[in-house]
Amino acid sequence: MYQTLSTQLENNILVITINRPDKMNALNQLVMAELALAVDEVYGNHDIKSAIITGAGEKAFVAGADISEFLTLTPKQGEELAKKGHVIFQRIENCPKPIIAAINGFALGGGCELAMACHFRLASENAKFGQPEVNLGLIPGYGGTQRLTQLIGKGKALELMMTGDMLNASEALSWGLVNHVVPLAELLPKAKSLLQKIHAKAPLAISRVIKCAHAALDKDIDGYDTEIKEFAACFATKDLQEGAKAFVEKRQANFKGE
Ligand code: COA
């Protein structure tokens, strides 16, 4: 169905693999268009409870936007490219179902930005991270200046974006860019087991914590107010009845997402 992605749905998890390994899975316009469609699938398909974004092969997650497409762009076209990227990555970030990045190699430029748009990140030991756009006379354009600053703080973000240096996986872990580092062979199993753990929780509560965490970073929204409203809305759900009842009855809750 896709030319630049492969998708696999198993145990309610959609694994979306960016599949251009000969080009280090670089994000050309077709990859971005297909990624948008795959994310639509995550939103719309009831069999999908969560998703993993990863890269094909053992070298790269995504080595950035496709540099070969930059040579002829005008500022206007550059603006359109960035705006499109922002829409797609915001859709990933705002997805009510968990979308996590399993970073299996280079996550550079747009690749690092894609990983940061996901709800959280796991990396293999060989992963490398960076925003090397300044080497090209460019800056991050898919939300990287904002999400990197939010995730690791302004000083570290500016160092990475100004030097273009790469972080290895253990540095990325200690800088707070990724949550876990595992051997490459354990990357997808670890990502899947974390998602299975999340699937057992109340789905509406999961989407509400995603919404509230983002509200914390949105200058136009009072995140505390959002939390109060989302907390209150939980009391209208069957899942809260089920969860509280299951606790009292000392049994596992069986949530329906209602
Ligand atoms: N856009 C387009 N093509 C890319 C690419 C990118 N971002 N990153 C890698 N490729 C291509 C290379 O051009 C090469 O294609 P070719 O075989 O047709 O010449 C192929 O992927 C393999 O890359 P190569 O550079 O030969 O691999 P390497 O192991 O020596 O180096 C990297 C790997 C990731 C360090 C290096 O490819 C790189 O620096 N890529 C660009 C990273 C970047 O600046 N990203 C930000 C873009 S805004």
pLDDT at 80: 97
Ligand 1 atom index nearest CA of 108: 45
Ligand 1 center from residue 66 Cα (angstroms): 9
Q: What separation in Å is there between the alpha carbon of 138 and the centre of ligand 1?
A: 16
Amino acid identity at 111: G
Task: Enter the tokens of residue 72.
Answer: 């002829």
- What's the number of CA atoms in the CB half-sphere (13 Å) around residue 24? 19
Q: Does the C-beta of 27 come closer than 6 Å to ligand 1?
A: no
- Identify the pLDDT of residue 111: 98
Total residues found in the chain within this entry:
258
Please give the torsion angle defined by the CA atoms of residues 38, 44, 50 and 53, in that order, rounded to the nearest 10 degrees.
10
Confidence (pLDDT) at 258: 94
Q: 93 CB under 6 A from ligand 1?
A: no
Catalytic residue set: 113, 133
Q: Report the separation in Å between the CA atom of 134 and the middle of ligand 1, taken as the mean of its atom positions.
A: 15
Residue nearest to atom 4 of ligand 1 (CA): 23
Element (H, E) at 170: helix 169-174
SS3 at position 138: coil
Give me the residue label for tokens 């899942």: 239
Task: State whether the beta carbon of 23 lies less than 6 angstroms from ligand 1.
Answer: yes
**pTM metric for this prediction:** 0.97
**Mean pLDDT for each 10-residue chunk of the chain (258 residues)?**
96 98 97 98 98 97 95 96 98 98 98 98 98 97 98 98 98 98 98 98 98 95 98 97 95 94
- CA-CA distances (angstroms) from residue 221 to 74, 95, 110, 224? 34, 18, 27, 9
User: Quick one: which H or E segment has residue 142?
Assistant: none
**What pLDDT score does 204 carry?**
97
* pLDDT at position 1: 87
* CB distance 64 to ligand 1 below 6 Å: yes
Cα separation of 100 and 53, whole Å? 6
* Whether the CB of 156 sits within 6 Å of ligand 1: no
Q: Is 182 helix (H, G, I), strand (E, B) or coil?
A: strand
Contacts of 73 (CB under 8 A, 6+ apart): 81
CA distances from 54 to 14, 24, 118, 233 (A): 11, 12, 11, 34
